[in-house]
Amino acid sequence: MARRSRPRTRTADIGTLKGKNGGMESEIGTAEGSGMSETRAVIYVRISRDRTGAGLGVDSQEEQCRELADRCGYSVVKVYVDNDLSAYSGKPRPAYLRMMRDLAAGNADRVLAWHTDRLHRSNTELEDYINVVETHQVATETVKAGPLDLATPTGRMVARQLCAIARYESEHRSERVRLAKQRQAKRGVFSGGTRPYGFEADGSTIKPEEAAEIVRMANAVLSGVPLKAIARDLREREVPNTRSLRWTSNNVREILLRPRNAGFLVYRPEPKHGQKRDRSPYTEADIIGTAPWEPILPEDVWRSIVAKLTDPARRTNHEPGPAAKWLGSGIYRCPCGGKMRSNTTASVAHRPVYRCKDTGAPGHVTIPRADADEYVSRVVIERLSRPDAAELIATPSATIDVPALRAELAVHNARLEQIADDYEQDRITRAQFLTQTDRRRAKAAAIQAQLDQATEQSPLAPLIDVADVAQAWHDLPLGQQRAAIKALFTISIQPCGKGKRVPIHERITFGPPATTPATGHASQPAPRVTQARAA
């Protein structure tokens, strides 16, 4: 007697279509009918986390679902794939939503899944699913849990129980993971992810060469160097980072704001169901204790950096556009008061010059870039080689009690939180809230200013009391050279008259600095220098 062949899954050679947010679906052509209607089945597969991106989990689920279809004689007409998406997280599952639309349109007779928890871990989604499949008489079958009879009260009860159990398991697993990560954080155990810059792969052993770069960045910030200039210096020196990314002001800022630099342990709870993960840099609120490793930066230095980089009114990265490439860009001033930028002459030589950004109208000037920068460098070196150079840096008062100020600041910050809570609980009026908040913030700002005074550095510090000022100057990164010039002088470029050749030292004048040095103390006016001896 001839053996009857088992119906096979019909497929058409139409490739996999990839949807948004990782959702994919394979469009399979309808089976060629022979007069008999065939059961149209769709497959839904999902995996919560695919770290490699290989999709091996969903491939295995699809293979087993296809075997189920073969055994039952179903014709698979579509496969829906949600890769790296959790049914518990609350995030939209694009392929699942497309499947629901197709079921509502009557495009399938069966839904096949590896297990019921691949379809639902939310009762809300399950109820919507029951309404659709009951209305359109679509059956549900799984590889591991068998068929779900959603057409009967008993079958729906079983489905709801399975869904509740799956949700409990997800919640319980998430709670265990959260507690484990919290315990690890309190012990100072690195929880994984990208290696933090400045530390070895274990997250606690300091990497000396990277820690030295963090100290260098911190000193530059406290000296008033813009973050973009720091990033540019790192790129020019080809300093590697942990992600093999291009250094930018953003990743420099992120590294400098980390509490772990000051030897603090941090922990941020995992997001609850439906919440997005907070990927912003760790803050004071995330500190849970003192780390077992030695700090890379002293606590007060780190706190001053945080105050500087998180206060919009005091950000060092205030210059628009890319970091300056030349010594005098934006520092040298035209007689009109405008800033001068690097440019080239319109002549055949195309000589590099500094030109007023408002060029085009009468009265604006240009000056050869190399000659101007060389002369300004000579003046800086000459001024800082004098015996009284140290007097240009105001010494912070030795009477400042940093620990006491830090404790007082913590009291004011706690009081601000209490004021906000009082307003939230309707214990005070809006007018009282605003008045009390303004007063506390003013007191906190005054204390922070004293703390900054004790920790910030003058950009001139690397050039004071050194054996060779000229060598120290040339060794400084461009950003720190520019910060030092701004701490010493304002520089004006004078016109020379059309067709005249005037010595460079007669065209550049120096005045007192427009701002005080980074120490926060009033600086001594810089002497007017018209000509400097060669360094």
Euclidean distance between CA atoms 393 and 523, whole angstroms? 7
Same domain, 353 and 424: no
Same domain, 307 and 368: no
Task: Write down the pLDDT at residue 52.
Answer: 38
Task: Write down the pLDDT at residue 355.
Answer: 87
Is 153 a member of any domain?
Answer: yes
Euclidean distance between CA atoms 374 and 384, whole angstroms? 16
Task: Write down the pLDDT at residue 139.
Answer: 94
Euclidean distance between CA atoms 212 and 239, whole angstroms? 12
Beta bridge partners of 142: 113, 146
User: Block means of pLDDT (10 residues each) for the chain, length 535 residues?
Assistant: 42 38 48 60 80 58 94 94 65 89 94 90 87 93 90 88 82 74 71 84 91 93 88 92 86 92 82 62 78 88 85 53 81 88 72 78 80 94 90 68 80 86 89 92 84 74 88 89 90 82 89 61 36 35
Task: Write down the pLDDT at residue 527.
Answer: 36
Distance set, CA 9 to CA 35, 42, 73, 126 (Å): 17, 11, 7, 28
Is 359 a member of any domain?
Answer: yes
Residue type, 499: G
Which runs of E-coded beta strand occur in 48-109? 75-83
∠ Cα 192 194 195 (to 5°): 85
CA nearest 473: which of 465, 481, 483?
481
Same domain, 238 and 308: yes
Is 174 a member of any domain?
Answer: no
Task: Write down the pLDDT at residue 27.
Answer: 52
Is 382 a member of any domain?
Answer: yes
Euclidean distance between CA atoms 422 and 83, whole angstroms? 46
Same domain, 288 and 353: no
Same domain, 157 and 256: no
Is 521 a member of any domain?
Answer: no
| φ, ψ of residue 511 in degrees (nearest 5) | -125, 180
DSSP notation for 475-495: HS-HHHHHHHHHHH-EEEEPP
- What are the structure tokens assigned to 166, written together? 């799956």
∠ Cα 31 34 37 (to 5°): 65
Same domain, 464 and 451: no
Same domain, 119 and 20: yes
DSSP state of 361: B
Number of domains in the chain: 4
Is 327 a member of any domain?
Answer: no
Same domain, 70 and 122: yes
Same domain, 103 and 159: yes
Q: What CATH number did the domain enclosing 76 receive?
A: 3.40.50.1390
Same domain, 214 and 131: no
Is 482 a member of any domain?
Answer: yes
Burial class (CB in 10 A: 0-12, 13-18, 19+), 143: middle
Its domain, for residue 389, covers 332-394+460-511
Q: Quick check: helix, strand or coil at residue 381?
A: helix
Same domain, 352 and 219: no
Euclidean distance between CA atoms 248 and 232, whole angstroms? 8
Is 255 a member of any domain?
Answer: yes
Same domain, 337 and 250: no
User: Does residue 187 contact residue 234 with C-beta atoms inside 8 Å?
Assistant: no
Euclidean distance between CA atoms 190 and 361, whole angstroms? 61
Distance set, CA 491 to CA 7, 296, 331, 477 (Å): 88, 37, 7, 20
- 521-525: which pairs have CB atoms within 8 A and are 24 or more residues apart? 521/394, 521/396, 521/453, 522/394, 523/392, 523/394, 523/487, 524/391, 524/392
